[in-house]
Structure formats: structure tokens, C-alpha cells
Amino acid sequence: MKFYELLDVSPYATAEEIKAAYRIQVHLHHPDRLRQANDAVRLYAEDRLKKINEAYATLSDPAKRSTYDAVHLKQKSGRDAAGPIWRATDDEAREAEYPEFYNGPRGGAGRGRRRRKEADDWMRQQEEARKTEEFMARQKRAAEDAERKRQEDEERARHAARNRYPRSAVHGDVLVCTLTPGLTVELVRVPAGEFLMGSDPARDPHTQPSERPQHRVRVSEYFISRTPITWQQFTRYRAAMKIEGPMTPPGHDLHPVTQVSWDDAVAFCIWLSGPGWKYRLPTEAEWEKAARGPNAQLYPWGDVWGGDRANANNIHTGTTPVGAYTPAGDSPHGLQDMLGNIWEWCQDWYDSETYAQITTIQDPVGPTVGDGAVIRGGAFDSPLRHARAAARNWDYPFKRRANVGFRVIAQSIAEP
């Protein structure tokens, strides 16, 4: 049964198993692998390779294998033997197979065994080296597959980002949020710094108790939309999210959107938010700084009211297109319609005692609960006492009114 032993397979091995085992044995005993071995090892491997080829030639041929099995397996089983079966030891068997190698003219059986042990040790080392090479090859393939997958995932992410809307990009001091090709929201950078928030009765005859005391506030950098959000922009959001709502009034695509609740405005901000940017409603401090600049002027353009600078005090019966009063009505930061046209939702909840309870001057945030949310700026139907940069008002967050809309701010955030 030495043919099966030579290929290191079971007598019940399939043709495919015999073929695979043969390839392994040829690889192990091939002269190319033994260039660095000594003469004894190469001689041993050469003789054994001949036997391996002979074994494969027999076992790979069904007819020859059948004849071989009929003789050798039957003899091995002892069914046709008259007495006890003689079984050679491994040493004796190999010496019988390679007498010229183990018992040549210059050496006896002892030297043959030493040679055999030397050869066996070498072959065992070669087998271990082969297994190590295979393991390292598998590791390398796994690493290459992982790197290829990472690169493919990155490319898919880049492709998705290129085709994702809304998406935001900074161009100098302007952040452009693209809602869909050809439709954008433009936001202006407001640098970090201090300003005076609230009213000084000595300077503003319309000051209200809820606006006092006037106090200094420091606000971090942010971007704020140049105009209130328009019907056209908000309708795009509703279409993308499949949300039903009031139809855009005829000819009002570029008018500020109205009939939106505080919750509607917050949901719009969440839709705008994406990689690297968080959108939300402005705090009172952010809104007021954007409206009046660092010098506490009463109106975005200065301390003197001008009827040709804002849509307020019922000079029109409804809203006007955003930017209709630019540049005369612009704020020091280049923002349009900060007063008049519509009231604008803020992030804070309203408390008439907020200023009296000031505990911080860095990025102050108002209450997070209350009866209503802050609205700022006055609307087309607001009297002059409400159309001031410091004026404070509120409304129920679930209300949708014809004179209330919003604008948004964006802040850069670290990507995960």
C-alpha cells in the first residue's frame, strides 16, 4: 500500500483528493525547492519524486488503481496470507525502497538512518515553510481585499456626497447651501466678537422692560442666511420630504415663506444639515448681532428710521420679495430684511426676565421651555415700536401665521 503512503492519502481517497495530494508532494520534492539543500537531501528527494510520480500514474488511472488495490490492499488485509502478516517498520520500509541511498557502498544501515533522519528533518522544515508561506499569502490577500474594500467604500461615499442635496460649500465669507441644481441658500459669515444686546432708554424711546438691561455679549462665529427662507426654497424641502402644505401664492416664489410653525422651521434646518455643517434657528443673541452689528444701533442701517428701508408699519398690505430694500436696508453684515416683511422664529423660548437673569456673556441661550418661542424683527403689519433690532416678541410654536417665517444659521462641526 506504499502508493497511498507516498501520496499521503487514504485508500478511499477520491480522484480529486489524489490529484491534490500529488500536487502537494511534487511541490515539496521538486528540485527547484531544494537548491539550497545538501546532496543527500537532493538525492533523497529525487528518488522519492520518482516513486511519487509512479504512484500517481497508477492511482490516477481507474483501471490501474483497481488492479493495484486488488493486489496490495488484499495482501495488506492478510485475507490471502497463510500466517501472521509481517509488517516492516518505517525505517525498514524506506531502506527497502531506497537501498542504494541508505545502504550504499560507503555506508551501512546506521548511516542510512542518519541520512533518512536528515532528509526527514529537511522535508519537515520545508513543509513548515510552505505552510508559513501559505499563511502569509492568505494574510496578504486579506489585507489587499480589505484595502480594496476601503477604497471602494470611500469612492462610494464621495460619489454619494457629490450627488447629495442639500450640500454646503464655503466660498470666502459666504456659505452656499445647494438645495438642488440651480436653487441655493446663501449664508453670510458673522465673525466672532462682542456687541451690545438690548435697549438703552436714554437712546431708544421705544425700549421695553423685557429688553433691559442692555448688556455686552460675546458670540462665536456663525453663518446666517442673507435673506429669510423663501417659498421657493421651502417648497423644495416639502417636495423632497413628501410633506403636504400650503401652495405657494401666485407670484410669491421669492417672497419669504409664511404659514410655517416653529416645528416646521426646525425640521427644515435638520433637512439642510449634512457632512460638516449643522443648521438650526438662530439664538436671540445671534439674530440681534446679525441685525445691528457691534455698535448697538437701533436699526440695521443706523439710529434713524427710514420708510424706504423696510416693509413695516403697513406701508404694504403683505410681504414683498426678499431683498427688495437692499442695499439701503441692509445690516452691517450685509443681511437683508432683518426688519419688517415677516417676524422670524428664533431658537430660544421667550421669557420677559431673560436679560435680568443673565449669567453668561459667551453664546447665551435662552430658556428651553416656556409658553412660546421668540420671534424677532417685526413684519409688514408691525408698528414702528416692533420694527427695531432690540424688539422682542413671541408666539406659540404650533401656530402658522401669514406674517411669520424664519431664516437659518449654520455652524461648522467636526465630522465623525
167-412 matches 2-149 in CATH topology:
no
- Least confident interval from 130-134, 288-292, 360-364, 403-407: 130-134
Distance CA(215)–CA(197), nearest Å, equals: 5
Residues 110-166: tens digit of each pLDDT: 555 676 677 777 777 878 888 888 888 888 888 889 888 888 888 776 666 556 789
- Least confident interval from 82-91, 179-188, 269-278, 394-403: 82-91
Mean pLDDT, residues 27-55 = 82
The per-residue DSSP string of 185-224 comes to EEEEEE-SEEEEES--TTT-TT--GGG-S-EEEEE--EEE
Domain residue ranges in the chain: 2-149, 167-412
- Higher pLDDT among residues 134 and 390, named by residue: 390
Strands 222-225 and 183-190: what pairing? antiparallel
Please, which pLDDT band fits residue 310 given cuts at 50, 70 and 90?
Answer: very high
pLDDT at site 112 = 58
- Least confident interval from 91-95, 192-196, 251-255, 387-391: 91-95
Q: Which of 100, 126, 416 is nearest to 276 (CA)?
A: 416
pLDDT at site 198 = 96
Residues 49-107: tens digit of each pLDDT: 888 999 999 999 999 999 988 888 766 554 443 333 334 444 555 555 555 444 544 44
Residue type, 32: D
Mean pLDDT, residues 319-343 = 97
Distance CA(151)–CA(157), nearest Å, equals: 10
CATH 3.90.1580.10 assigned to 167-412 = yes
Strands 393-395 and 373-376: what pairing? antiparallel
Q: Which of 387, 360, 361 is nearest to 376 (CA)?
A: 387
- Residue 36 pLDDT > 80, yes or no? no
Distance CA(222)–CA(124), nearest Å, equals: 70
pLDDT at site 116 = 66
CB 384 within 8 A of CB 356: no
The fold of 2-149 is: Helix Hairpins (1.10.287)
Strand partners, 174: 171, 188
Chain mean pLDDT for the chain: 87
Residue type, 8: D
Please, which pLDDT band fits residue 201 given cuts at 50, 70 and 90?
Answer: very high
First to last CA, the chain: 65
Distance CA(240)–CA(331), nearest Å, equals: 32
